């Protein structure tokens, strides 16, 4: 009996080793099989010129009722602002379409809409203290579009970008010309925001109105992207008119899949970005680079996506920019975050919420600097 038990244990150990080997050497192939659409790209017509006049095309905008405005949510214990907003915030949500049935999500796709609302609640809410937040719905590219170099992927991303560009133009038409603007986006939202900065901000009078651009969860190449975005990197805490970007990992980190995804896309100059260094802004210090221990963290938002809420937990997560340009948070924090941690200790889903309270303070400090200067 004991011998049979040992045989079972031996077989299980061998199976475990085989599974680990498969996941190690074929992780990219398995990920592509799971998420990359295998059908043709379906072209969609351009949206009507006035499409974004419709409040239903927005997850958040100032004239929506609070109950319908995901960005107005606040964690328990955080007081609602008592003054009218002084800043206009344009926020582009991350990928919420994780199915592989098509290369782009339709605007009425229920699951992706629900996820997008939750992402805006958690990630745009740091800006609602003094900001009037505008967060558009758009025909986002499927998550698999960022995991392949198939030509359909570029078409899907271009379609998503056109929607964001139209939404931004509608946003601008509703903002007084003396109002400062903050741009923010995460993951796919950040990827599209880079391009928007190049096409709509760089070299225009609008650049002078940008108090800050938070381009989070997608690398901003120092060589291939930043020179074309019309703004410098955020170097110091009280600097305005600058770009902040970071990608969060815990240790030990395996960033190989992230770097492969980065290498698939071209920079804003049309050149391949693979291997080029990218910005690492530290939201705990408010500087480019640097390190801070957990005592500097004013509050990590631990989201409860199931119940559409969350709580702030202070002084739990440190941050240090590493030689690999990633923002390292030390060993995995002892917080209820495991459900959405990606392989390789990739804390991509939590890039913003890890530093929710510090980002709120950073944003308010930079916009105050802009308002004082103008």
pLDDT confidence of residue 262: 86
pLDDT confidence of residue 11: 37
Looking at the structure, do residues 294 and 266 belong to the same domain, yes or no? Answer: yes
pLDDT at 370 over 70: yes
Q: How confident is the model at residue 68 (pLDDT cuts 50, 70, 90)?
A: confident
Looking at the structure, do residues 289 and 354 belong to the same domain, yes or no? Answer: yes
Q: How confident is the model at residue 180 (pLDDT cuts 50, 70, 90)?
A: very high
pLDDT at 60 over 80: yes
Looking at the structure, do residues 29 and 144 belong to the same domain, yes or no? Answer: no
Q: How many domains does the chain have?
A: 2
Looking at the structure, do residues 298 and 359 belong to the same domain, yes or no? Answer: yes
Q: How confident is the model at residue 84 (pLDDT cuts 50, 70, 90)?
A: confident
Spatial distance between the Cα atoms of 372 and 374, rounded to a whole number of angstroms: 5
**Helices 151-173 and 188-196, axial angle in degrees (round to 10):** 70
- The pLDDT tens digits for 248-292 are 999 999 999 889 988 888 999 999 988 899 999 999 999 999 999
Looking at the structure, do residues 55 and 27 belong to the same domain, yes or no? Answer: no
Spatial distance between the Cα atoms of 160 and 106, rounded to a whole number of angstroms: 11
pLDDT confidence of residue 32: 65
- Token pair for 285: 């210090």
Looking at the structure, do residues 28 and 170 belong to the same domain, yes or no? Answer: no
- The pLDDT tens digits for 132-176 are 999 999 999 999 999 999 999 999 999 999 999 999 999 999 999
Q: How far is CA 249 from CA 38, 40, 209, 298, 336, in A?
A: 30, 34, 32, 19, 16
Looking at the structure, do residues 125 and 196 belong to the same domain, yes or no? Answer: yes
pLDDT at 126 over 50: yes
pLDDT confidence of residue 89: 98
173: containing domain: 39-373
Looking at the structure, do residues 69 and 7 belong to the same domain, yes or no? Answer: no
Looking at the structure, do residues 71 and 26 belong to the same domain, yes or no? Answer: no
- The pLDDT tens digits for 319-350 are 999 999 999 999 999 999 999 999 999 999 99
């Amino acid at each position: 009996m004991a011998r049979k038990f040992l045989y079972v244990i031996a077989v299980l150990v061998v199976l475990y080793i085989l599974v680990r080997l498969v996941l190690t050497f074929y992780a990219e192939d398995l990920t592509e099989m799971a998420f990359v659409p295998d059908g043709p790209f379906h072209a969609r017509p351009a949206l009507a010129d006035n499409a974004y006049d419709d409040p239903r095309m927005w997850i958040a905008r100032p004239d929506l009722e609070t109950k319908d405005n995901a960005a107005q949510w606040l964690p328990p214990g955080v007081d609602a602002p008592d003054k009218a907003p002084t800043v206009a915030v344009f926020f582009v949500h991350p990928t919420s379409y994780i199915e592989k049935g098509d290369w782009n999500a339709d605007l009425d796709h229920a699951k992706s809409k629900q996820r997008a609302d939750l992402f805006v609640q958690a990630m745009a809410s740091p800006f609602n203290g003094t900001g009037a937040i505008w967060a558009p719905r758009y025909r986002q590219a499927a998550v698999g579009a960022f995991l392949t170099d198939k030509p359909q992927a570029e078409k899907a991303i271009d379609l998503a970008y056109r929607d964001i560009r139209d939404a931004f133009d509608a946003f601008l038409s509703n903002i007084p010309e003396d109002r400062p603007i903050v741009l923010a986006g995460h993951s796919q939202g950040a990827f599209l925001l880079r391009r928007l900065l190049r096409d709509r901000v760089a070299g225009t009078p609008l650049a002078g109105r940008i108090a800050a651009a938070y381009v989070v969860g997608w690398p901003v190449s120092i060589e291939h992207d930043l020179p074309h975005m019309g703004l410098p990197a955020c170097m110091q805490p009280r600097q305005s008119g600058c770009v902040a970007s970071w990608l969060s990992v815990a240790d030990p980190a395996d960033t190989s899949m992230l770097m492969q995804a980065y290498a698939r896309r071209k920079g804003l100059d049309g050149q391949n970005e693979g291997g080029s260094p990218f910005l690492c802004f530290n939201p705990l210090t408010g500087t480019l680079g640097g390190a801070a221990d957990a005592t500097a963290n004013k509050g990590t938002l631990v989201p409860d996506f199931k119940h559409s809420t969350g709580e702030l937990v202070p002084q739990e997560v440190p941050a240090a920019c590493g030689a690999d340009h990633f923002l390292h948070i030390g060993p995995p924090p002892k917080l209820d975050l495991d459900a959405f941690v990606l392989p390789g200790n990739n804390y991509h889903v939590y890039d913003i919420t890890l530093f929710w309270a510090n980002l709120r303070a950073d944003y308010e400090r930079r916009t105050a600097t802009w308002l004082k200067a103008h």
